[in-house]
């Protein structure tokens, strides 16, 4: 176990919880509590945005990847490739999540066709799950393994 910065601990805990928050919100939709589903989705997205911005700021201006990677036993090439795949999935997921949110809000408000929602939402949920899991694994490889 190596010393990890405070922001990394808090952000990792948030991303470990994120899939459960998303599942809870989906459960609301399944139980036909649509208003609660929409409000919770917007709150989860806004909260995630705050954490992502905090993370980006801290990694750039406080302490970054090159500081952490020096101390781990994990193969550096593997770790860097894993990190790149994680970043790629994270970016695609975040943009798709925002797109889903805006398109769904608009379609719902204007009572437009909504059949796109569930298939896209399942893909976004899978993306959120994968991004969070990979993020937690990176924390594990950097500070625990
Ligand atoms: C403002 C944005 C959103 C609105 C207006 C909205 C609205 C709705 C509505 C009306 C339903 C029930 C109708 C249907 O199943 O097609 C629904 C279901 C669902 N929503 Fe959303 N939603 C929003 C955001 C999201 C997001 C961001 C996700 C995932 C990350 C999501 C995941 C789901 C899922 C998986 C279902 C299907 C639940 C089931 O199996 O019945 N929603 N949503």
Q: Which atom of ligand 1 is nearest to the CA of 114?
A: 16
Task: Please tell me if the CB atom of residue 94 comes closer than 6 angstroms to any atom of ligand 1.
Answer: no
Average pLDDT over residues 12-39: 98
HSE value, Cβ hemisphere, 13 Å, CA-based, for 137: 14
Between 64 and 25, residue with greater pLDDT: 25
Q: How far apart are CA 114 and CA 116, in angstroms?
A: 5
- The pLDDT of 121-135, averaged and rounded, is 98
pLDDT tens sequence across 55-105: 999 988 877 777 788 888 899 999 999 999 999 999 999 999 999 999 999
Q: From the CA of 3, how far away is ligand 1's center (Å)?
A: 40
Tell me the pLDDT band of 1, cut-offs 50, 70 and 90: low
> In which band, very low, low, confident or very high, does the pLDDT at 127 lie, cut at 50, 70 and 90?
very high
The residue whose CB lies within 8 Å of the most ligand 1 atoms, and thus the one to mutate among 121, 130, 131, is 121
56-59, Cβ contacts within 8 angstroms, sequence gap of 24 or more: 58/5, 58/7, 58/8
120 lines ligand 1 (CB under 6 A): no
What's the mean per-residue pLDDT of the chain? 95
Percent of the chain with pLDDT over 90: 86
Q: Is 8 in the pocket of ligand 1 (CB under 6 A)?
A: no
Measured CA to CA, the distance from residue 77 to residue 104 in angstroms comes to 40
> How far, in whole angstroms, is CA 95 from its chain's centroid?
11
Q: Is 129 exposed, middle or buried (0-12, 13-18, 19+ CB in 10 A)?
A: middle
pLDDT of residue 69: 84
Structure tokens at 145: 């393994």
Is the CB of 57 inside a 6 Å radius of any atom of ligand 1? no
pTM: 0.94
* More confidently predicted of 60 and 45: 45
């Amino acid at each position: 176990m190596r010393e990890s910065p405070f922001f990394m601990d808090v952000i990792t805990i948030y991303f470990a919880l994120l899939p459960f928050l998303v599942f809870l919100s989906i459960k609301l939709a399944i139980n036909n509590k649509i208003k609660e589903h929409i409000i919770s989705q917007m709150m989860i997205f806004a909260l995630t945005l705050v954490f992502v911005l905090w993370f980006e700021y801290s990694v750039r201006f406080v302490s970054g990847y090159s500081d952490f990677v020096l101390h781990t036993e994990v193969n550096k090439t593997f770790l860097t490739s894993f990190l790149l795949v994680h970043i790629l999935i994270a970016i695609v997921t975040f943009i798709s999540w925002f797109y889903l949110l805006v398109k769904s809000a608009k379609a719902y408000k204007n009572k437009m066709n909504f059949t796109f929602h569930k298939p896209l939402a399942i893909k976004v949920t899978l993306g959120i799950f994968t991004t969070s899991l990979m993020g937690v694994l990176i924390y594990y490889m950097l500070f625990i393994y």
